[in-house]
Amino acid sequence: MSLARFLIKRLLQGVFVVWGVITIVFGLRVIAPGDPANVLLPPDVNPEVRQQVVADLGLNEPLYVQYWDFVTGIAAGVPEGLYNIVMGQPVGGLGLGTSLTTGTSVASRVGRSLPATLELAIMATVVAIIIAIPLGVVSATNRHSGPDYGATLFSLAGISTPNFWLGVMLIIVLSVQFNLFPTSQRAIGVPGIFDLLLAGQLEAAGDGFLTWLWYITLPAITLGTYFTALITRLTRSGMLDELGKTYVRASRAKGLPESLVRYKHVLRNTLIPIITVVGLQLGTLVGGAVITEFVFDWPGLGQVLINSINSRDWPMVQGSLIVISVGFVVVNIVVDTLYTLVNPRVGFD
């Protein structure tokens, strides 16, 4: 079946990219100045203790051995982790090692912070798509009118505004001046809807929903604005492009009403290419999430990454980078498959 073959091919490419990611991440640590062991050891520690710690971390081994252990560790850890998830047991280390600063396993620390980032990313994407597609369509179909100019200016400002500044200004205006929204961190008490959903406590998630929504509004707007602006521009220019094509004139020649031509024919063909661009731009979304978490002290993977970089906690940095990139690769495979499913022209072979 050609879908299966397409998936295998894409998965193979995905594995290659993940291997590339792991190699780059490992390379980053190797070229980093300073001795990784110093993070654990005070400067005036006596040599034997330093020897012992270096041996424990396996830093004394030749580089290729360290690399080999690192890669095989992950290669074994991830499938084992997946198996555990399926069986409902704790996920285990995934071969990502333990954090130097907290001593806990990297995988569990990343696992705990991932849902918060996902919440942000998904909310931003949902907000973006709900607003951007109709806005793009309206501005494409009635050109040189009010909504068209409005949408163009909004989308232009949207892609030109650094999201951290937008976040800061939203806090200043909406939280400080008019205190409509909480100023910062998702309070510990506020339930992470994702954690609850994952844990299956639907009822708890239900009544905690409103407070969660109240907390997530500003971060979601901050993160979603660039994305909304981008998709508005793409929808508008994609729509204008399609409207110029011969099959539109042929459809009108058939006597089809303009609204049918515009929505059933043109809009569908406009949305198909946007899927790939959205996939490509997800990287920007995750990047934006890292900054938004910094601005709003949102306890996501971005926070973990920045803190671990500042504290030189290498295993944590490696773990977060790998999880972010692998997640991104998986999402891209899903997006590609979706694109091929929706677009009959592109077969699976």
Partner 1 sequence: MSHTGHRDDLLRVEDLTTRFYTEEGQVNAVESVSFDVRDNEILGIVGESGSGKSVTALSAIDLVDSPGEVTGGEVWLRDAELAEEFRGESPDAVDGDFVDLRQLPKGVRRSLRGPKFSMIFQDPMSSFNPSLTVGEQIAEAVEVQRRASANPRSTRSRTQGYGLGKLLFDSVVPGREYTSDESRERAVELLDQVGIPDPVERAEEYPHQFSGGMLQRAMVAQALAGEPDVLFADEPTTALDVTIQAQILDLLRDIQQDRGMSVVLITHDLGVIARMCDRVGVMYAGEIVERGSLEAVFDEPTHPYTQGLLGSIPDVDDPAPRLEPIEGNVPNLIDSEMPDRCYFADRCPKAMESCLEHPEERAVEGEQGHTARCVLADGEYDPERALDESHFEGGDGE
Partner 2 sequence: MISPRTLRSLKRGLNRNALAKVGIAIVVVVLLAAIFAPFVAPDRPGTQNLNESRQPPIGFEKASTQEVPVQENGSVVFEDGQIVTENRTVYENATWDHPLGTDGTGRDILSRLIYGARVSLLVGFLGTGLAMFVGVTVGLVAGYYRGKVDDMLMRSADVMLAFPSIVLAIALIGVLDDALEQSIPDPFVVTGVAPAFRSALGLPTGMPESTVLPGTIIVVVALVNWVWFARVARGEALSLREESYVKAARALGANDATIMFRHVLPNAITPILVLGTIQIAAIILLESSLSFLGFSSANISWGFDIALGRKYQSTAWWISAMPGLAIVITVIGLNLVGDWLRDALDPGIEGEGGV
Partner 3 sequence: MSFDGETDDEEYDGSLVEVEDLEKYYYENDTLFDRVLGRDPTAVRAVDGVSFEVQEGETLGLVGESGCGKSTTSETLLGLREATGGSVRFKGHDVFRMTGSERKVFRQDAQIVFQDPFSSLDPRMTVGEIVTEGLRIHSLAGGAERTERAKDLLERVGLSARHADRYPHEFSGGQRQRIGIARALALDPEFVVLDEPVSALDVSVQAQVLNLLEDLQEEFGLTYLFVAHDLSVVRHISDRVAVMYLGKIVETGPVDQIFENPQHPYTQALLDSVPRASVDEYGRRGGTLEGDVPSPRNPPPGCRFHTRCPHARDACTKELPPDYDTGERHEAACFRVDEDHEYWESEPLPHATETGEGTSVGGGIADSSD
- Which residues contact residue 134 at a Cβ distance below 8 angstroms, ignoring those fewer than 6 apart? none
222 with 163: CB under 8 angstroms?
A: yes
Min dist CB 20 to partner 3, Å, is 14
Would you say how long the chain is, in residues? Answer: 349
* Residue whose structure tokens are 């907000």: 127
The gap between the terminal CA atoms of the chain, to the nearest Å, is: 10
Which of 12, 55, 122, 130 is in the footprint of partner 3 by CB under 8 A?
12
204 or 275: whose CB is closer to partner 2? 275
* Interface with partner 2 (CB under 8 A): 13, 16-18, 20-21, 24-25, 28-29, 31-33, 152, 156-157, 159-165, 168-169, 171-172, 176-177, 226, 230, 233-234, 237-238, 277, 280-281, 283-288, 290-291, 294, 305-306, 309-310, 312, 317, 321, 324-326, 328-329
Min dist CB 13 to partner 3, Å, is 6
Q: How far is the C-alpha of 194 from the C-alpha of 2, rounded, in Å? A: 35
337 with 10: CB under 8 angstroms?
A: yes
Would you count residue 233 as binding partner 1 (CB under 8 A)?
no
47 or 254: whose CB is closer to partner 1? 254
In the shown chain, the binding pattern of residues 290 to 329 toward partner 3, with x for contact by CB under 8 A and - for none, equals ----------------------------------------
Q: Which two tokens stand for residue 292?
A: 């938004």
Residues in 327-346 that interact with partner 1 by CB under 8 A: 342-345
170 or 193: whose CB is closer to partner 2? 170
**Residue 289 exposed, middle or buried by CB count within 10 Å (0-12, 13-18, 19+):** buried
Residues in 117-136 that interact with partner 1 by CB under 8 A: none
For 115, 180, 295, 296, the CA distances from 191, given in Å and listed in that order, are 11, 20, 20, 16
Q: Which two tokens stand for residue 164?
A: 């951290």
46's contact among partner 1, partner 3, partner 2, none, with CB below 5 to 8 A by partner kind, is none
